[in-house]
Amino acid sequence: MAINEYINGNGVFGGKEGLQEGSARWKDYLVLACRIFLAAVFIYAAFQKADKPLMFADEIRMYRVIGIGPLLYIMAIVLPWVEIICSLSLLTGIFMRGSAFTFIVMNAIFIAVVIYRTFDIMNGEGTPFMDVYFDCGCGFGATYAWKKILEDIVFMLSAMIIYFAPSYRFTLGRRN
């Protein structure tokens, strides 16, 4: 595919399906709300950790999935910026589908590791599921694990709405 076609056609701004005619529909407002909600949450979260890679690395390490080493530190450096760049993408509408896809994958991984750590704490300390309480390293401080899992499910559903019901109103890709 020619790069020009990619930029102006199906690629960046979503293509024909995104070029709706007429006034905005409820779906457009729903997608806009999801975009602003996700972007606000993840930009706030990312700014808590973007300039403190050692703190974020410590929080990732607590999941006992990745030990001390280059992979851990690269994740601590890059992950907050993936959140910032993808949030900006959602706000502007440029590469919106890609950022929604990234948020779906990221939140699926977050949910999996939070569940993994929750069971780790339940088995290690004998804490009941509803009482498991820890700092997930998400940028919002310590909270109950079940709340965090629910939050991540809401984030993932919001990203899914953006991804599967693409509306390109209120984006830089729209002319009307």
Partner 1 sequence: MERIRYGIIQAIILTVISFVTAFTFNAFSENGINPFRKMNGVPVLDGFQTEEVEGIRIVGIDEFRSLLDGGGIVLDSRTAEDYDQGHVPGAILFDYFEFGSYLDTVTPYLSFDEEFAIYCTGPYCDDSELLARELFTLGYRKITVFRGGLEGWLEAGLPLETGMHY
Contacts with partner 1 by CB under 8 A lie at: 10-12, 50-55, 58, 68-70, 72-74, 76-78, 80-82, 84-86, 89, 95, 97-102, 105, 163, 166
| Nearest distance, CB of residue 88 and partner 1, angstroms | 9
In terms of C-beta density within 10 A (0-12 exposed, 13-18 middle, 19 or more buried), how is residue 36 classed? middle
Q: Minimal distance in Å, beta carbon 133 to partner 1? A: 16
User: What single DSSP character describes residue 18?
Assistant: G
Alpha-carbon gap, residue 23 to 163, rounded angstroms = 21
Cα 129 to Cα 145: distance, rounded to the nearest angstrom? 8
| Distance in Å, CB of 46 to partner 1, minimum | 10
- How far apart (Å, rounded) are the C-alpha atoms in residues 171 and 14? 11
CA distance 17 to 69: 45
Residues 6+ apart with CB under 8 A from 117: 62, 63, 64, 134, 136, 145
Pairing of strands 133-135, 142-144: antiparallel
> Do residues 20 and 169 lie in contact, with contact meaning Cβ atoms separated by under 8 Å?
yes
C-beta of 105 vs 130, nearer to partner 1: 105
Name which of 89 and 171 has its Cβ closer to partner 1: 89
Could you tell me the smallest distance in angstroms from the CB atom of residue 54 to partner 1?
A: 5
| Minimum distance of partner 1 from residue 96's CB (angstroms) | 8
CB-wise, 81 or 129, nearer to partner 1? 81
CB closer to partner 1, 15 vs 146: 15
Q: Of 81 and 116, which CB lies nearer to partner 1 in the complex structure?
A: 81
